[in-house]
A and B are shown apart, each in its own frame.
Chain A
Amino acid sequence: MRKMEFELDGAKAKAIMLEDAVPKTCEAIWNKLPLSGMSIHAKWAAREFMLHLSGKNRIILKPEGPSAEEDIAGTLHQVPFGMGRISYFFREAGVLRGVQRDYSPEFQRELCEFAIYYGHGAPSIQDPGRQPDPTKSVNIWFATFEEPIPKDFVAKADAMQYEGMKPLAIRRLGTSR
């Protein structure tokens, strides 16, 4: 079992990779670790923050796991994420109208990110940024935080609404069986 450590502005939480469900995705992301960057809070999905995978952090993955099957069936309103879940998300340009000027220039039309759902209430099913479109987006739930998510980690995430972006580092924590 592979574990990762998420450190948000000094507060840490552990997550378990879902290797049985999405082995290729986990392998690809594991090989990319450590990753770091500035994370920002969601504007549609409620208590979620994102690490945009820009530049050398960029990862392009093919659909895998239950969500991919739901994508194909066109029933992805059963969004494969929730509190404590961590997803990889990619969408091509054109899924959303126009540009997202509040994102960096690289991601004003397309988007490549980790979506990190840290609190109850997340996600909102009314998230236009992640509406189902199996031909233009990839959404893979690949890890889950160990429960309970540390309170200081949740507090740091909530504080982003008041204080803005915060540094996030994701690193390997090790493997165990």
Chain B
Amino acid sequence: MGRKIKVSFPEERVSGLAELAEEDAPKTSQAIWNLLPLKANALHDIWSGHVVFLFLEPTRIIEYENVSRILDVCPGDLYYYYRAPHFFRGAPYGKVEASEIGIVYDRDTQPWGPRGAKGVNIFGTVTENLEGIARVCERMIWDGAKAVLLERT
């Protein structure tokens, strides 16, 4: 069993637990673990479907793991994605280069961007209260960004 992290939306008083995929993605799991706790505003994705994401500030570069799982994400998956400088036109979200964590909360989701499928490292899965997290994420379509906190347990 991998180490667990707590995923919270403090303003909504909703939280869940996620288990790190330390066997499948050991480098990413460790790198993310080392960054915790992380607090940021999560945004709803506009390309990929049912996923919200938060930027890592400053940008963190973690090498690819699990690239074979491209487009194969499931509800509850947590992933890391790195966007190289000028990979997309302009500076989406004001960032020429970016790294992010995605939280997949429902089906019909494929990590996607202006240049097609995104290569993401799946490093964990929500194992407790995905339902509650999903309800918060759905509301972001209507409410906009929400604060999210990732921390060690």
Rounded to whole angstroms, the CA-CA distance of A164 and B43 in the bound complex is 10
Known: A41-B46, A97-B108, A120-B89. A162 touches B144 (CB 8 A): yes
Which A residues form the contact surface with B (CB < 8 A)?
A: 40-48, 96-98, 101-102, 120-121, 124, 126, 128, 160-165
Q: Check if A121 sits within 8 Å of B114, measured CB to CB.
A: yes
CB distance from B58 to the nearest CB of A (A): 20
**Which residues of B sit under 8 angstroms from A97, Cβ to Cβ?**
107-108
Given contacts A44-B48, A97-B107, A102-B138, 15 further A-B contacts (CB under 8 A): A43-B44, A43-B45, A43-B50, A44-B49, A46-B47, A47-B46, A98-B107, A101-B138, A102-B139, A126-B110, A161-B43, A162-B145, A163-B144, A163-B145, A165-B142
**Closest 8 pairs (CB-CB, A-B):** A164-B144, A102-B138, A164-B143, A163-B144, A102-B141, A121-B114, A162-B145, A165-B142
Rounded to whole angstroms, the CA-CA distance of A53 and B142 in the bound complex is 16
Q: Check if A41 sits within 8 Å of B44, measured CB to CB.
A: yes
B140 sits at the interface (CB 8 A): yes
Rounded to whole angstroms, the CA-CA distance of A126 and B114 in the bound complex is 10
**Which residues of A sit under 8 angstroms from B106, Cβ to Cβ?**
101
Which secondary structure dominates chain A's binding surface? Answer: loop
Q: Check if A41 sits within 8 Å of B108, measured CB to CB.
A: no
Q: Check if A44 sits within 8 Å of B141, measured CB to CB.
A: no
Rounded to whole angstroms, the CA-CA distance of A97 and B135 in the bound complex is 18
Rounded to whole angstroms, the CA-CA distance of A101 and B50 in the bound complex is 11
B33 sits at the interface (CB 8 A): no
Q: Check if B142 sits within 8 Å of A162, measured CB to CB.
A: no
CB distance from B85 to the nearest CB of A (A): 17
Which B residues form the contact surface with A (CB < 8 A)?
A: 41, 43-50, 88-89, 106-108, 110, 112, 114, 134-135, 138-145
Q: Check if B46 sits within 8 Å of A161, measured CB to CB.
A: yes
CB distance from B116 to the nearest CB of A (A): 8
CB nearest to A128 among chain B residues: B108
CB distance from A8 to the nearest CB of B (A): 15
**Which residues of B sit under 8 angstroms from A164, Cβ to Cβ?**
140-144
Q: Check if B141 sits within 8 Å of A124, measured CB to CB.
A: no
Q: Check if B47 sits within 8 Å of A160, measured CB to CB.
A: no
CB nearest to B139 among chain A residues: A102
Q: Check if A162 sits within 8 Å of B46, measured CB to CB.
A: no
Q: Check if A161 sits within 8 Å of B89, measured CB to CB.
A: no
**Which residues of B sit under 8 angstroms from A98, Cβ to Cβ?**
107
**Which residues of B sit under 8 angstroms from A42, Cβ to Cβ?**
46
A-B contact pairs, 25 of them (CB 8 A): A43-B44, A43-B45, A43-B46, A43-B50, A43-B141, A46-B46, A46-B114, A47-B46, A97-B107, A98-B107, A102-B138, A102-B142, A120-B89, A121-B114, A124-B112, A126-B112, A161-B43, A161-B46, A161-B144, A161-B145, A162-B43, A163-B144, A163-B145, A164-B140, A164-B141
CB nearest to B110 among chain A residues: A126
